[in-house]
Structure 1
Amino acid sequence: MLDFLTQYWWTIAIAINYILVIIAVATILFKSINPTKTLTYIIVLLVFPFFGLIVYYFFGQEYRKNKIFNRKDVLNNHLIQSIHKDLKIQPESLNLYEPKIDEDQIRLIHLLQKNDKSPLTKFNDVEIIINGENKFEKLFTDIDNAKEHIHIEYYILKDDNIGTRFLDLLCKKALEGVTVRLSFDDVGSKISSKMKKKLTNAGVQYFAFMPVLFPKFTGKMNYRNHRKIVIIDGEIGYVGGINVSDTYVNYPENKAYWRDTHLKIIGESVFTLQTQFLTNWNFVADTSLTLNRSFFPQNKVKTVTPVQIAASGPDTDWANIMEAIFFAIVTAEDYVYITTPYFIPNDQIITAMQVASKSGVDVRLLIPDKSDSWTAKHATNSYLEQLLDANVKIYRYEKGFIHAKTMVVDDVFTTIGTCNMDYRSFNINFEINALIYNKEKAIEAKAIFNNDLESAIQINLEQWTTRSNMKRIQEAYCRLWAPLL
């Protein structure tokens, strides 16, 4: 028997592999998931022995997600219900809003309220911030003035130059008696043991989101917290694309210019950011905070800027942000301007952009000229020709790397947040965007987009179709992996 196993071990291993593959394929086929994603998994399983099973184990199975996040979803519902009941944070009747909200905006608002308990808030001051150096100047001032609490949630947090300043300031505030709660993603972040000890000694409460054994080697392991949120005293909120790392600040010594967009919000929508932070904190800390009025103080803002916070992740029933983006595109009448660093869309978004453009809407897409990911770049390129065929105008940003995640529509609607235009942001990662229903902010966001176009070059369809066959092969290969990127 031993001789037989020794002689035919490879044949036996392959046979076992494909028995498991057959079981996995049957499981995939019985799931109601995207056909493209289904086909990708089946091809990987059949063509790559053993490796395919590893990929499927880490990226394709849902039972791990269900086991992890069912409890989080229960916590979310319980906490949100408590906040709405005890603190009476309810959206006002839409017909009371001035200026009036148009019918398509109202339909989008109802979509999110139904899907993710996202109340529309009326009284807000919203400031669009360009680039990390401007964000951190404002953020550090607001943190230094904190009196009650500072709540923080980041995908990337590193104790480099800007990160050390940030963390040192948190220690200072904690020692002054301000409650500091910090959550950071374990894969995206890198904080030294020395700094963690300093945080502990200062009284900063911190937890890593879903710790992994070897963060350096996990790459894009599933279910990461990609959000960037700061809430200060329940009154000031920050949300957008800028993480805490020197990469996001344009120091003179940096090799590349980094173009990004963030929001500072004062007003009622900070309550929704606070709610999202608290639901995450209950999950990472494995405890339930006692709600108190300091988390949701009396709003002092009188400026009318309707804002809705859309959050999505593997613990939500719907792809809330993707649905909001899709709906805004298909209901656009004049223009849709999109900026994203990673464009690996699903069929719904591609179709929405094509239909909008062919119906006469000015659809423009701004992406980086040089990407920080070879695979993502070629996967993105594989989608461009079908958009160019539909007369979508596509631009490549050449001044540096553009990391902003924004969309502005018809001078009436703007979204800024953490969500990329890709499979991972739509379906896997935890994301959060602010939806702003305000003409002034939409015009400002449009001006910012047009200013970025001055540092971009437009892709010409005729020239694009003459690219080499080698590039097309690279694109086809990378697109095969698109649902997994």
Structure 2
Amino acid sequence: MFNFLGHNFWTIAIILNYILVISALTTVIFKRINPTKTLSYIIVLLVFPFFGLIIYYLFGQEYRKDKLFNRKNVLNNSIVKRVNEEITLDKKKLDDLEHNYLDEKIKLVKLLQRNEKSPLTLCNKLEILKNGEVKFKRLFEDFRNAKKNIHVEYYILKDDKIGTEFIDILCEKAKEGLSVKLTFDDVGSKISKAARKKLKAAGVEFYEFMPVIFPKFAGKMNYRNHRKIAVIDGEIAYLGGINVSDTYVNYPHNKAYWRDTHLRLVGESVYTIQLHFLTTWNFVSGKDVKIEKNYFHQCDLDEGVPVQIAASGPDTDWANIMEAIFYAITTAEDYIYITTPYFIPNDQILTALQVASKSGVDVRILIPNESDSWTAKHATNSYLEQLFEANIKIYRYTKGFIHAKTMVVDGLFSTIGTSNMDYRSFNINFEINALIYHKETSLLLKQDFMNDLEYADLMNPEEWQKRSKWLKSQEAYARLWAPLL
């Protein structure tokens, strides 16, 4: 028996591989996912024995269909229901907004409210924070001034220079008697045992998000919490692209300049961000979270900036952020300015951008000149010719690495958040964006975009066509993986 197995090991292994492949392919086909993604899985599973199954296991689980999060405990809470009722606008107020200045954008508001009951809030103050050094100065001030509770959720948290200061402040506040809750992604973060002991000794409650056995080797090949949010006393919230790591702060010793954007919010929109944190906490802690009144600060603003919080991921029924971006693009009349570190669009977004540009809308996209990912860089490059054909202007940022995730449309609508313009952010990761319906804010973001263009090169379509066949082959290879990235 053992001799037979020894002599026929590879034959048996290949047979077992393809039995599992047939089972996986049946699952993929009947899930009715995007045909492009389906074909990508079929190619990987059939052409790469064993390796294809590993890729399918890491990439192929459709958690949105399986409802990874159980949100009923949070959404059914009496305090949460009361808060939602208070901030949800009635039909008359929405109609008034439509007639006054939101016009077609009111349909985007209604879309998200139907999808995930994400209410439009009118009473908000916001502050756009450029780069990590500005963000952390404001965040640490708010941490130190906190009186009741601090809730923090990050994709990347490292106990380097800025991370140690971040952790020390949380420990100080916990020792003062505040309730401090911290969750960080197990793959993106790297925290020493000493830092964990410090957090625990100080009384900070913390949990890793979906721990994996070998995080160093897991990379991006699974569903991760890409959100970067903080909520202080239920009154102030932060969200955007800046993680907790020295990489995101422009220290003199850093090798490269890091350009990023974050948002500080005060007002009713903080309620929604708090709800998303509590839902995550309910999941990572493994127990029903106790929701207290002081998690929701009574807003004392009479008016302000209209903001809607869009979250998406395996815990949502719809790809909310992608749908919001898609609708904003398709209803644009004047211009669309996008900044993204990774541009690997799905068919819907790519077509929407092409149609908008061909219909006369000024479409400009700012991407990094050099990426921090070989695959993402070449996958992005594989889409550029299609953009050039539609007369879309592509700029490459040369001052350093641009990691901001922003879009501004027609001087009325803008978004800042954690979502990249790629498959992973739209369909796989947990993301959160602020959708802002405000002329002054849009003008500020438009000016930021124009300032960044001063450190960017406008790509020449004719020159791009002359690139080598070797580069084109790398792009073709990377694009095959685009639906899986």
Q: Name the TM-score class by shorter chain.
A: over 0.9
Query: Which residue in the other structure is 1:231 paired with?
Result: 231
Query: Which residue in the other structure is 2:103 paired with?
Result: 103
3-state SS of 2:19 partner: helix
Question: How far apart, in 1, do the equivalents of 2:110 and 2:98 lie?
Answer: 18
Matching of residue 78 in structure 1 with residue 76 in structure 2: yes
Question: How far apart, in 1, do the equivalents of 2:4 and 2:283 lie?
Answer: 51
Matches within 5 A, 1:161-172: 161-172=161-172
Structure 1 position 20, deviation (Å): 2.1
Contact 2:97 2:106 in 1 (8 A): no
Structure 1 position 191, deviation (Å): 1.1
Question: How far apart, in 2, do the equivalents of 1:234 and 1:300 lie?
Answer: 13
Structure 1 position 12, deviation (Å): 2.5
Query: Which residue in the other structure is 1:398 paired with?
Result: 398
3-state SS of 1:288 partner: coil
Question: How far apart, in 2, do the equivalents of 1:413 and 1:301 lie?
Answer: 22
Instruction: Give TM-score, length-normalised by structure 1.
Output: 0.96
Contact 1:98 1:304 in 2 (8 A): no
Contact 1:84 1:90 in 2 (8 A): no
Structure 1 position 87, deviation (Å): 6.5
3-state SS of 1:305 partner: coil
Letter in 1 for 2:165: R
Letter in 2 for 1:312: S
Which deviations, in whole Å up to 9, do the C-alpha atoms of 1:352-389 show, x marking residues without a partner? 00000000000000000000000000000000100110
Matches within 5 A, 1:273-292: 273-292=273-292
Contact 2:55 2:221 in 1 (8 A): no
Structure 1 position 26, deviation (Å): 2.2
3-state SS of 1:107 partner: helix
Letter in 2 for 1:149: N
Matches within 5 A, 1:372-383: 372-383=372-383
Query: Which residue in the other structure is 1:88 paired with?
Result: 85
Question: How far apart, in 2, do the equivalents of 1:377 and 1:94 lie?
Answer: 42
Question: How far apart, in 2, do the equivalents of 1:266 and 1:146 lie?
Answer: 14
Matches within 5 A, 1:118-137: 118-137=118-137
Contact 1:369 1:397 in 2 (8 A): yes
Query: Which residue in the other structure is 1:149 paired with?
Result: 149
Letter in 2 for 1:112: L
Question: How far apart, in 2, do the equivalents of 1:82 and 1:248 lie?
Answer: 37
Question: How far apart, in 1, do the equivalents of 2:84 and 2:16 lie?
Answer: 57
Query: Which residue in the other structure is 1:465 paired with?
Result: 465
Structure 1 position 289, deviation (Å): 2.8
For structure 1, list consecutive stretches of 5 or more residues without a partner in the other structure.
none
Which deviations, in whole Å up to 9, do the C-alpha atoms of 1:421-451 show, x marking residues without a partner? 0111001100000000000000000000000
Contact 1:73 1:316 in 2 (8 A): no
Call closer, same or farther: CA 1:425–1:98 in 2, change over 3 Å. Answer: closer
Question: How far apart, in 2, do the equivalents of 1:402 and 1:127 lie?
Answer: 20
For structure 2, list consecutive stretches of 5 or more residues without a partner in the other structure.
none
Which deviations, in whole Å up to 9, do the C-alpha atoms of 1:19-47 show, x marking residues without a partner? 22222222222221011110111001111
3-state SS of 2:297 partner: coil
Call closer, same or farther: CA 1:125–1:29 in 2, change over 3 Å. Answer: same
Which deviations, in whole Å up to 9, do the C-alpha atoms of 1:211-253 show, x marking residues without a partner? 1112111101321110011111111110000000000000000
Matches within 5 A, 1:53-452: 53-62=53-62, 69-75=67-73, 77-79=75-77, 83-85=80-82, 88-92=85-89, 93-97=93-97, 100-452=100-452
Structure 1 position 295, deviation (Å): 1.2
Query: Which residue in the other structure is 2:483 paired with?
Result: 483
Structure 1 position 177, deviation (Å): 1.4
Contact 1:124 1:301 in 2 (8 A): yes
Letter in 1 for 2:420: N
Question: How far apart, in 2, do the equivalents of 1:218 and 1:442 lie?
Answer: 38
Question: How far apart, in 2, do the equivalents of 1:65 and 1:85 lie?
Answer: 27
Moved more, 129-138 or 207-216: 207-216
Question: How far apart, in 2, do the equivalents of 1:77 and 1:148 lie?
Answer: 22
Question: How far apart, in 1, do the equivalents of 2:387 and 2:363 lie?
Answer: 10
Contact 2:233 2:295 in 1 (8 A): yes
Equivalent pairs: percent with the same residue?
65
Structure 1 position 190, deviation (Å): 1.0
3-state SS of 2:171 partner: helix
What is the aligned length? 482
Contact 2:68 2:314 in 1 (8 A): no
Call closer, same or farther: CA 1:469–1:86 in 2, change over 3 Å. Answer: closer
3-state SS of 2:263 partner: strand
Structure 1 position 65, deviation (Å): 6.5
Call closer, same or farther: CA 1:415–1:483 in 2, change over 3 Å. Answer: same
Structure 1 position 179, deviation (Å): 1.1
Question: How far apart, in 1, do the equivalents of 2:161 and 2:102 lie?
Answer: 46
3-state SS of 2:302 partner: coil
3-state SS of 1:100 partner: helix
Structure 1 position 97, deviation (Å): 4.5
Question: How far apart, in 1, do the equivalents of 2:442 and 2:327 lie?
Answer: 17
Question: How far apart, in 2, do the equivalents of 1:137 and 1:444 lie?
Answer: 21
Question: How far apart, in 2, do the equivalents of 1:26 and 1:98 lie?
Answer: 47
Contact 2:153 2:277 in 1 (8 A): yes
Query: Which residue in the other structure is 2:48 paired with?
Result: 48
